[in-house]
């Protein structure tokens, strides 16, 4: 079983780690776009073009499924990728976990990039899945970039700024950018008492359902391949400072 993941940067690591937790024998192809990141400020058409290029590079490795492990790309490129690859290659997008958060809590905050906050896409999700909860949209300028670079001080500053915009009575914080799941511990500490809702585990479960994964191969470690802007590469050093990045590498065997 070989699963590809697409993102502008290391935001694909939470989903990759979740897939590996569920299926240690799964081969992973991580296709990122360091030459074009961040995708958030780009036009929708440009995001779709760059995501498609990353997906094509991953698909060339013979995938069984493709995960769009990026909220921005899921908004602007999911339909393009599905038109290109399905039905032969299942394509699974990433949606902020508003539905389960609003089902369990009456006050919810959604932390997202400034480009996503207040967007028609996010407002539509709130309207469809908000379940009558009080939902506060919280922009997090600079947080994804700080996570990508592994800049702990910048992460701390961005988290503190977002926490200051988050109502004290929220019962849940939805992590509306996949990069944010890499610093969930710091976000949780900044919003004490709130339950954090990410997307990685749900995405991993969905991809395994879509491909009707059979029993795991006993004792096999899945291989890891990294593609950076279309070329074979390695995970950046910052990726290994996060538990998800370290876990993916440690759980990988040879191709």
DSSP letters of 114-160?
A: TTTTT-HHHHHHHHHH-TT-EEEEEE-TTHHHHHHHT-HHHHHHHHH
Q: Annotated catalytic residue: which of 29, 70, 159, 172?
A: 70
Say if residues 86 and 35 touch (Cβ distance below 8 Å): no
Classified as helix, coil or strand, 200 is: helix
**In the annotation, is 177 catalytic?**
yes
Q: Annotated catalytic residue: which of 3, 101, 125, 177?
A: 177
The DSSP code for 220 is P
CA distance linking residue 172 with residue 102, whole number of Å: 8
- Residues with Cβ within 8 Å of residue 226, at least 6 apart in sequence: 29, 30, 32, 232, 233, 234, 235
Say if residues 252 and 221 touch (Cβ distance below 8 Å): yes
CA distance linking residue 153 with residue 139, whole number of Å: 18
Q: What Cα–Cα distance (Å) separates residue 159 from each residue in 73, 140, 174? A: 23, 7, 14
Active site residues per annotation: 70, 177
């Amino acid at each position: 079983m070989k699963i590809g993941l697409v993102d502008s940067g290391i935001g694909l690591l939470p989903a990759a780690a979740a897939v590996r937790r569920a299926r240690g024998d799964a081969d992973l192809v991580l296709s990122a776009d360091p030459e074009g990141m961040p995708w958030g400020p780009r036009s929708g058409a440009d995001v779709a073009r760059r995501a498609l290029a990353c997906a094509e590079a991953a698909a060339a490795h013979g995938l069984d499924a493709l995960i769009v492990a990026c909220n921005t790309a899921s908004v602007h490129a999911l339909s393009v990728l599905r038109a290109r690859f399905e039905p032969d290659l299942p394509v699974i997008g990433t949606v902020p976990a508003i539905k389960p958060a609003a089902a369990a809590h009456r006050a919810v905050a959604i932390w997202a990039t400034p480009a996503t906050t207040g967007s028609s896409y996010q407002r539509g999700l709130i309207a469809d899945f908000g379940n009558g909860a009080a939902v506060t949209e919280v922009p997090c300028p600079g947080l994804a970039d700080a996570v990508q670079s592994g800049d702990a001080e910048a992460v701390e500053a961005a988290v503190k700024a977002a926490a200051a915009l988050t109502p004290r009575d929220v019962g849940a914080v939805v992590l509306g950018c996949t990069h944010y799941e890499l610093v969930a511990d710091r976000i949780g500490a900044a919003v004490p008492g709130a339950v954090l809702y990410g997307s990685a585990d749900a995405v991993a479960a969905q991809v395994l359902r879509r491909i009707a994964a059979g029993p795991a191969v006993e004792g096999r470690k899945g291989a890891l391949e990294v593609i950076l802007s279309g070329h074979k590469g390695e995970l950046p050093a910052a990726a290994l400072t996060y538990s998800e990045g370290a876990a993916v590498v440690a759980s990988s065997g040879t191709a």
